[in-house]
């Protein structure tokens, strides 16, 4: 399986100060910043008692905004930054990036204020992912990059799941909104496998100075398709036995592929082990979802949050801290406060899983998990916020 490299631009430009121009130089800048800010506000509001809106009440708002809001922003920010390196095409930047960012921000505002049916939320949110898919597809098409041709289609699948979910909430479609939430979550797990299996070997090579490990193409495809197939099975309410098989296969394949890259010395590199932990928790969550759909439905809450906090929370924090260092021209040395941030996100995972298994302590554990999640992102913002709005320190573009 081909390894995606995240090489840095080589052209050196005059240094400039913080401002609008550097902020819109690459997609990771606005989307990492706004995703982290939104993650803090949304989680604290949720645990403080904000119950959504008439259009998206309660868990319908919370689930939508963490999957298609927070996670969606980090995914798009990463993909639109990486696609330039993958294809050798110019980075997505400037006015088009500002317009895409405005779509995402508008969707967050609409989801938190809209009354009646979530039509404006749907229009903005789905348009965001369709436009992001087009922005990824254009350089892939120009470079005739076959190995990346599937990425825009995965974004379109994410947009479709978003549309189906919001149409169901609006009463237009007669489907199970809860199942469609799980579908969206598992598609995020699909993005995690797609990106993780390609970049973690490269990051491991860079940090440990060890040969890169490539995977058999068929094994990588199984690892990627397992959460995507599980998402489709949930959406269509397919037989539970099939879900068990797909979930178990996805967990095993992804863990085996991940551990082929592991080495004991990575314990000394927080920028590495946080990615391994986040990816592993995603794989365990995929297996737990299959188990919950087949023989242990009581496990569903734990399975969902193993992916949502253990996978998405831990891995997005790890990816943001790692890729933002490289793309702002800094040495790949983790800044102070980031190991505590990783620990807080892992603590949030443990606490939220505890809430799923200890009903008597559900409320205090939920509050503690939410506070830990928000605190982890606040530490990221404290350390990285200024870097995300400032030009690269080495004067290179991006």
Shared domain check, 279 and 383: yes
User: Count H helices, E strands: the chain?
Assistant: 15, 0
Higher-scoring residue by pLDDT: 248, 261? 248
**Domain range for residue 346?**
192-388
Has residue 118 been placed in a domain? yes
> What six digits make up the tokens of 282?
């995603």
Has residue 185 been placed in a domain? no
Sorted by sequence, the CB contacts under 8 Å of residue 282 that are 6+ apart come out as 189, 192, 193, 196, 254, 306, 307, 310, 311, 312, 315
Say what the alpha-carbon torsion angle 33, 71, 326, 280 is, to the nearest 10 degrees. Answer: 140
pLDDT of residue 4: 42
Last residue of a domain, one of 120, 140, 175: 175
pLDDT of residue 60: 96
Number of domains in the chain: 2
CA distances to 26, 157, 168, 282, 395 from 251, rounded to whole Å, are 33, 22, 30, 8, 42
Shared domain check, 244 and 378: yes
| For residue 19, pLDDT beyond 80 | no
Has residue 239 been placed in a domain? yes
Residue 2 pLDDT grade (very low, low, confident, very high; cuts 50, 70, 90): very low
Residue 291 has φ and ψ, to the nearest 5°, of -65, -40
Identify whether the C-beta of residue 164 lies closer than 8 Å to the C-beta of residue 235.
yes
Shared domain check, 214 and 336: yes
Shared domain check, 153 and 293: no
Shared domain check, 320 and 258: yes
Identify whether the C-beta of residue 343 lies closer than 8 Å to the C-beta of residue 334.
no
Sorted by sequence, the CB contacts under 8 Å of residue 113 that are 6+ apart come out as 53
Beta bridge partners of 209: none
For 84, half-sphere exposure in the C-beta direction (CA atoms, 13 angstrom radius) is 19
CA distances to 278, 282, 347 from 255, rounded to whole Å, are 11, 9, 22
62-76 per-position pLDDT tens digit:
999 999 999 999 999
Nearest to 196 by CA among 338, 287, 314: 314
Has residue 27 been placed in a domain? no
pLDDT of residue 398: 66
Kind and range of the H or E element at 130? helix 119-142
Shared domain check, 279 and 379: yes
Shared domain check, 147 and 204: no
C-alpha 398/C-alpha 388 separation (Å) is: 10
Residue 231 pLDDT grade (very low, low, confident, very high; cuts 50, 70, 90): very high
| For residue 379, pLDDT beyond 70 | yes
129-139 per-position pLDDT tens digit:
999 999 999 99
Shared domain check, 215 and 152: no
């Amino acid at each position: 399986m081909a390894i995606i490299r995240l090489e840095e631009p080589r052209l050196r430009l005059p240094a400039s100060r913080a401002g609008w121009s550097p902020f819109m130089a690459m997609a990771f800048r606005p989307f990492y910043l706004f995703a982290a800010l939104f993650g803090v506000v949304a989680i604290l509001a949720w645990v403080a008692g904000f119950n959504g809106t008439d259009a998206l009440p309660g868990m319908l708002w919370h689930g939508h905004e963490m999957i298609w809001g927070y996670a969606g922003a980090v995914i798009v920010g990463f993909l639109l930054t990486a696609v330039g390196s993958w294809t050798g095409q110019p980075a997505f930047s400037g006015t088009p990036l500002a317009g895409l960012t405005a779509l995402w921000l508008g969707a967050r505002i609409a989801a938190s204020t809209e009354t009646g049916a979530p039509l404006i939320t749907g229009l903005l949110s789905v348009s965001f992912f369709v436009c992001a898919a087009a922005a990824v597809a254009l350089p892939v098409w120009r470079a005739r990059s076959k190995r990346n041709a599937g990425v825009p289609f995965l974004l379109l699948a994410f947009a479709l799941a978003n549309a189906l979910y919001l149409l169901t909430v609006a009463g237009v479609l007669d489907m199970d909104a809860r199942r469609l939430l799980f579908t969206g979550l598992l598609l995020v797990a699909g993005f995690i496998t797609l990106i993780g299996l390609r970049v973690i070997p490269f990051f491991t090579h860079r940090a440990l100075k060890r040969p890169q490990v490539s995977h058999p193409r068929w094994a990588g495809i199984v690892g990627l398709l397992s959460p995507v197939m599980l998402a489709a099975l949930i959406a269509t309410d397919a037989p539970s036995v099939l879900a068990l098989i797909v979930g178990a296969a996805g967990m095993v394949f992804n863990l085996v592929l991940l551990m082929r890259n592991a080495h004991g010395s990575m314990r000394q590199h927080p920028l590495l082990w946080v990615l391994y932990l986040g990816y592993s928790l995603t794989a365990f969550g995929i297996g737990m979802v299959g188990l919950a759909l087949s023989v242990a439905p009581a496990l569903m809450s734990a399975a969902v949050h193993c992916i949502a906090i253990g996978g998405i929370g831990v891995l997005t924090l790890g990816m943001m801290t790692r890729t933002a260092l490289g793309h702002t021209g800094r040495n790949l040395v983790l800044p102070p406060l980031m190991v505590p941030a990783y620990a807080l996100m892992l603590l949030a995972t443990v606490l939220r899983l505890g809430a799923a298994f200890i009903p008597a302590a559900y409320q205090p554990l939920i509050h503690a998990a939410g506070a830990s999640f928000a605190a982890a992102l606040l530490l990221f913002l404290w350390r990285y916020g200024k870097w995300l709005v400032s030009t690269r320190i080495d004067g290179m573009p991006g």
